[in-house]
Amino acid sequence: MNNIKNKKLGLYIHIPFCISKCYYCDFCSYANQNELIIEAYCKAVIKEIMDFRNSDTDYSVDSIYFGGGTPSSIKAEWIGDIMEAIYKKFNVDEGSENTIEINPGTLNESKAGLYKASGFNRVSVGIQSFDDEMLKKIGRIHNKKEAITTINTLSKLNFRNISIDLMFNLPGQNQSMAYDDVEKALSLGLSHLSYYSLKIEENTPFYLMQQKGELKILPDEIERGIYHGAIEIMKKRGMNQYEISNFSIPGYESRHNLKYWNREEYLGFGVSAHSFIEEKRYANVNEVDRYINNVQKSVKEYALFEKLNDKEKLWEYLILGLRKIEGIKIQDLNEMAKGKTEKIFEIFLSLEKKGLVEMNTENIRLTMLGMDLSNMVFVELMD
């Protein structure tokens, strides 16, 4: 791409391998892959990066994110090789936020050291819960002890920016169980926390269990109660909510995540990886074999390719921007809508009447009710 100029880019690398698949997971990941496939895959990712067409140097990468799957489930050397390729190919800023997702039970000190040496300065740990019984119930392979050991290992190696993922709305969970998880997480001195409500997706073991009536999900009232309570707890402990599911110490917001909500550009490498650049969204194919094959033959095949028109851009801007607690700036909205804001404000006023959004002269943001019913707001904004 010749015309990437003066741009900040995010890079996303997908590592689709796991030790085992969790019961709720419908993302692109494979358990028990053999070393040969992992090797072929990582080499393909490196080739995909190196093949990326850019002749200009007037741009820079300010965030790199290795997600999965479980990036820490494969040899750290592969991660290092991919990072090396990135640094070779792209202009990476000095202060770039470089994150790797890891799972407890897949990390040891030497691995963490290698990550550090490869340039990672942020780690996102998939802990989900500190309740051993619950972890088993949702198909996680680690326990509470291993989770804490993992955090300690990272601290020991001087990782300052540690985030964890926690889940709530877990089967059989009550408020006090959920808050125990939050309290435990906060006691570990983290800079960032993502707090996700379990959603049963099709084609997952949980979905089948639910169909058979073996899995009872919590009533919406309880689920929202947990969410609202958790927000309060985190607020009291200095964790600032900056997006529906994300909390951090001020200044430690995830740059990479914010790119998604701010419609900033990113490139994805690896199987099923999504890219957003020059108002185009596209994604690689979803099967590992096919992906490897395509890269080896230098074939570009997309599982998705969309070019956004003005109406779509505006809608995206609204539904992504409003996920942030600060909401959207009216000035930006005017620019995006090219002055045609009459109808949008009409909708916003009716949403305000329903108590779903708050507006002042500068910003529009979701209320707590608006966050709980955000899909409803986004659907209203579609016209």
Partner 1 sequence: MLNRKNYIRNFSIIAHIDHGKSTLADRLIEKTGLLTHREMKEQILDNMDLERERGITIKLQTIRLVYKAKDGNEYILNLIDTPGHVDFTYEVSRSLAACEGAVLVVDAAQGIEAQTLANVYLALDQNLEIVPVINKIDLPSARPDEIKTEIEDVIGLEAHDAPLISAKEGINIEDVLEAIVQKIPSPSGDENGPLKALVFDSYYDSYKGVVAYIRVKEGSVKKGDMIQMMATKKSFEVVEVGILAPGQLPVEQLQAGDVGYLAASIKDVKNCRVGDTITQLKNPATEAIPGYKKVISMVYCGVYPADGEDFNNIRDALEKLQVNDASLTFEPEASVALGFGFRCGFLGLLHLEIIQQRLEREFDLNIITTAPSVIYNIYKNDGTMVKIQNPTNLPSPSEIDYMEEPIVKANIMTPSEYVGAIMELCQNRRGTFKNMEYMDKTRVILHYMLPLNEVIYDFFDVLKSKTRGYASLDYELSGYQASKLVKLDILINAELVDAFSMIVHEDKAYERGRGIVEKLKDVIPRHMFVIPIQAAIGSKIIARETVRAMRKDVLAKCYGGDISRKKKLLEKQKEGKKKMRQIGSVDVPQEAFLTVLKFDDHK
In the stretch 19-58, what mask flags binding to partner 1 with x, by CB under 8 A?
A: --------x-------------------------------
Is 220 a binding residue for partner 1 by CB under 8 A? The answer is yes
Lookup: tokens for 380? 């209203």
- 3-class DSSP state of 282: strand
Please work out the total of residues on this chain that contact partner 1, with binding judged by CB under 8 A.
42
Give dist(CA 375, CA 352) in Å, integer.
15
DSSP state of 324: B
Using the rule CB under 8 A, give the single segment among 31-39, 50-58, 119-127, 274-282 that binds partner 1: 274-282
Least separation in angstroms between residue 372's CB and partner 1 is 5
SS3 content of the chain, % helix, strand, coil (to 5): 40, 25, 35
Report CA 33 to chain centroid distance, whole Å: 24
Determine the interface stretch with partner 1 among 111-119, 135-143, 144-152, 265-273 (rule: CB under 8 A).
Answer: 265-273
Contact 352, 359 (CB under 8 A): yes
The DSSP secondary-structure symbol of 219 reads P
Looking at the Cβ atoms of 59 and 260, the one nearer to partner 1 is 260
Binds partner 1 (CB under 8 A): choice among 47, 144, 274, 313: 274
Q: Are 354 and 366 in contact (CB under 8 A)?
A: no
Provide the 10 A C-beta neighbour count for residue 248: 23
Query: Is residue 118 close enough to count as binding partner 1 by CB under 8 A?
Result: no
Query: Can residue 372 be called a binding residue for partner 1 (CB under 8 A)?
Result: yes
Non-local CB neighbours of 369 within 8 Å, separated by 6+ positions: 355, 356
CB 367, min distance to partner 1, A = 12
Strands 302-307 and 59-68, sheet pairing: unpaired
Pairing of strands 192-197, 161-168: parallel
Letters for 291-320 (x = contact with partner 1 by CB under 8 A, - = none) are: -------------x-x--------xx--xx
Q: Largest Cα–Cα distance of the chain, in whole Å?
A: 59
326 binds partner 1, rule: CB under 8 A: no
Instruction: Please tell me the distance from the alpha carbon of residue 7 to that of residue 17, in angstroms, as a whole number.
Output: 31
Q: Which stretch binds partner 1 (CB under 8 A): 106-114, 116-124, 150-158, 269-277?
A: 269-277
283 binds partner 1 (CB under 8 A): yes
For residues 127 to 166, the per-residue mask of contacts with partner 1, x marking binding by CB under 8 A and - elsewhere, is ----------------------------------------
Q: Stretches 110-118, 268-276, 324-332, 342-350: which one binds partner 1 (CB under 8 A)? A: 268-276
> What's the angle, vertex CA 376, arms to CA 370 and CA 378, rounded to 5?
90
For residue 143, the tally of other CB atoms under 10 A from its CB is 17
Distances (CA, A) of 45 to 91, 99, 117, 146: 18, 17, 20, 30
Question: Can residue 202 be called a binding residue for partner 1 (CB under 8 A)?
Answer: no
From candidates 199, 216, 235, 280, binder to partner 1 by CB under 8 A:
199
Q: Which stretch binds partner 1 (CB under 8 A): 89-97, 139-147, 293-301, 369-377?
A: 369-377
Task: In whole angstroms, give the CA distance from residue 224 to residue 148.
Answer: 28
Contact 145, 191 (CB under 8 A): no
368 binds partner 1 (CB under 8 A): no
Interface residue with partner 1 among 354, 365, 367, 368 (CB under 8 A) is 354
| 349 in contact with partner 1 (CB under 8 A) | no
Residues that bind partner 1 (CB under 8 A): 12, 14, 27, 65, 67, 194, 196-197, 199, 220-221, 223-224, 244-245, 259-260, 266, 268, 272-276, 281, 283, 304, 306, 315-316, 319-320, 354, 371-376, 378-379, 382
